[in-house]
Structure 1
Amino acid sequence: MLRTNSTKRALVEYLLRHPDTIVSGAELCGHVNVSRQAVSKAVEGLREEGFPVESLPQRGYRFQSAGETRISPSWIESLLGDIPFGHPTLAFERIASTQFVVKEFARDGAEQGLLVFADEQTQGRGRLGRSWESPRGKGLYFSFLLRPSLRMNELQLLSLATGLAVRDTLEELLDVSATLKWPNDVLWRGRKLCGILCEAAIEPDRVHYAVIGLGINLSLSPEHLPEDLRQRVTSIEEATERNIPKNALAAAIVRRFYEEFQHLCEPRGALELVEAYRRKCETIGSAVSVLTGDEVIQGTAMDVTGEGTLVVETSQGRRLFPAADVVHLRRGGDVPFPEGR
């Protein structure tokens, strides 16, 4: 497990302010107020995290802005330094699931905002127990801990808020025009870019904690996927055709979600969240097939309620679905259109 400390984080913050500039060891020592030996040790720790810092003998250190290869806890925490989420940030090379780790920390009393990343997951999961392909280096796989003051029937709003945060960040940071599929898939050109999983420990009168997990496909190509997924999944690399700033993207999503989460706690926050979600959700207005248990219902998705419930007009009247699996159908027919309209 990798995590930051005060010296590493201070070095990152300083180097990020001087990208591609050689900074002397004496300058770093003075800024961080530690010895040259402590700076050298911290730099080695940053390299272990994957933070791209170059040592130049007799000259100093240089942050190479185009050199990132993995998630660096020091980098993430520096980018999130002014908000309470992301402290601490933990990064694992290979684990079963980031969800499992965060839930274990939650049961041990960890505070809201804990953030856990993995380079690779061996048991990545999506909704309804489905597996989520999580090969090394091909995606962003992370989970964070919430202790929300929400009622049990409002938990769906967390999924909506996360989907909005991902969708809006992709547009603002990478100019990717993504859309949303109820309840929590992020799509590009009808194919899935990101899946979101919200799990919670609840009692009838309270929510103990919630864990939000995200799997974002950065560069996984179709040939590395099972046959049945190849036409249903896309990647940010395909959507942008450019290098993806992993740490900046991850931190921006967490920051945007924090803003949505804070707003959700305000008097009109839930209403405004759902209004924004409706504008960006391509499920609304689509012919859909809804799978719930052993039942399959077809109709037209008409709306999302103030608690995040899907409203579907069927031949037998309107049906409400607080949670279900939805397939978009081609207009004018009932042929499933993979993960999008």
Structure 2
Amino acid sequence: MAMWPAQLQRHIFAELDSTNAEARRHLEQGAQADAWFMAHSQTAARGRRGRPWHAPAGNFMASLLLKLDMPAAAAAQRSFVAALALHDTLVALTGRGDIFALKWPNDVLARGQKLAGILLETAGTGARVDHLIIGIGVNLAHAPGLDAVEPGAMTPVSLQQASGISVAPEAFLNSLAPNFAQREAQLRDAGFAAIRQSWLERAANLGAPITARLGDRVETGIFETLDENGALLLRSATGTQTIAAADIYF
């Protein structure tokens, strides 16, 4: 297993309200160093759009606090970095590269079901970001029941169910942190084009029909590719649309 990245702090808690909230508290207290925050249990976990996130003990719940100085659009590319790092980690720990895929914009699938989610929160001034918090939840041991997910949402699954392999949360973090550092170095050295290509090679439903829910409207078409900034290109009867944010269904 790769070594823990140099100069990267690690904070492990028995219980927190939310690892993203804990990372923000450290930031408000003047923390500057990059750090991971992991909790064995969360009492107020949330996903995208403020939705509750199922967070029982045995699952992976962690957030990475990064110090940055860049436009918001560039900071948002870390969602793809995190997704690739998650995929790298899952394959390394299970040896099952065939069962995992990446779902735009920020989910990881196992056997076509939702295994993990990513939530980005930023801090900065104007259009620039000086700190980024990347929250990650992975259903290692437990998956919520269908009664806990929205109608039409993807069925959740645990890593144990999908692969038959049990992974402890701290072991998962010890693999994820160096994998994220390696993907972050790829972004820095080769640019987003390299990250984009790696993500597309692992994409779920690329070239297939999908439905995008954008606020008060729904668009259906073929998932063609990602543009140079990571937006989804959807080909429909009315032409190709560039979608920067949406809930995707297939």
- Name the TM-score, length of structure 2 as normaliser: 0.90
**Closer, same or farther in 2 for the Cα pair 1:248/1:95, shift >3 Å?**
closer
Are the aligned partners of 1:152 and 1:204 in contact in 2 as well (CA < 8 Å)? no
Are the aligned partners of 1:79 and 1:248 in contact in 2 as well (CA < 8 Å)? no
2:80 equivalent in structure 1: 160
Given residue 100 of structure 1, which amino acid in structure 2 is its aligned partner? A
Greater C-alpha Rg: 1
1:113 equivalent in structure 2: 34
Post-superposition CA distance 1:51-75 (Å, at most 9, x none): xxxxxxxxxxxxxxxxxxxxxxxxx
Mapped to 2, the partners of 1:160 and 1:301 lie a distance apart of 17
The Cα RMSD (Å) is: 2.2
1:174 equivalent in structure 2: 94
Q: CA deviation at 1:223?
A: 5.2
Are the aligned partners of 2:68 and 2:131 in contact in 1 as well (CA < 8 Å)? yes
**Closer, same or farther in 2 for the Cα pair 1:112/1:315, shift >3 Å?**
farther
Q: CA deviation at 1:242?
A: 3.0
1:296 equivalent in structure 2: 218
Which runs of structure 2 are paired with 1:1-341 in the superposition (5 Å)?
Answer: 79-80=3-4, 82-85=5-8, 87=9, 89-135=10-56, 137-177=57-97, 178-221=100-143, 226=148, 232-266=155-189, 268-328=190-250
Mapped to 2, the partners of 1:318 and 1:132 lie a distance apart of 33
Given residue 40 of structure 2, which amino acid in structure 1 is its aligned partner? D
State the SS of the aligned residue for 1:147.
Answer: strand
**Closer, same or farther in 2 for the Cα pair 1:249/1:227, shift >3 Å?**
closer
Mapped to 2, the partners of 1:186 and 1:233 lie a distance apart of 11
- The percent of aligned pairs where both chains have the same amino acid is 27
Are the aligned partners of 1:179 and 1:187 in contact in 2 as well (CA < 8 Å)? yes
Q: How many residues align?
A: 246
Higher relative contact order (CA 8 A, sep 6+): 2
The worse-fitting range, judged by mean Cα deviation, of 105-114 and 178-187 is: 105-114
Q: CA deviation at 1:202?
A: 3.2
Structure 2: state its 5+ residue gaps.
Answer: none
Are the aligned partners of 2:221 and 2:237 in contact in 1 as well (CA < 8 Å)? yes
Given residue 97 of structure 1, which amino acid in structure 2 is its aligned partner? S
Q: CA deviation at 1:113?
A: 2.0
> Relative to total residues, which structure has the larger strand share, 1 or 2?
2
Mapped to 2, the partners of 1:224 and 1:276 lie a distance apart of 32
Are the aligned partners of 2:145 and 2:156 in contact in 1 as well (CA < 8 Å)? no
Give structure 1 regions of 4+ aligned residues with deviation exceeding 4 angstroms. 221-225, 227-231
Mapped to 1, the partners of 2:149 and 2:121 lie a distance apart of 29
Given residue 125 of structure 1, which amino acid in structure 2 is its aligned partner? R
Are the aligned partners of 2:58 and 2:169 in contact in 1 as well (CA < 8 Å)? no
**Closer, same or farther in 2 for the Cα pair 1:221/1:265, shift >3 Å?**
closer
Post-superposition CA distance 1:278-337 (Å, at most 9, x none): 111114212111112212111111111221111111222111111211112xxxxxxxxx
Given residue 94 of structure 1, which amino acid in structure 2 is its aligned partner? E
Structure 1: state its 5+ residue gaps.
Answer: 1-77, 329-341
State the SS of the aligned residue for 2:114.
Answer: strand
Post-superposition CA distance 1:210-251 (Å, at most 9, x none): 100010101115559637689701111112323324322211
Post-superposition CA distance 1:96-143 (Å, at most 9, x none): 1111110121233212421111111121111121110101x2301000
State the SS of the aligned residue for 1:95.
Answer: coil
Q: CA deviation at 1:79?
A: 5.0
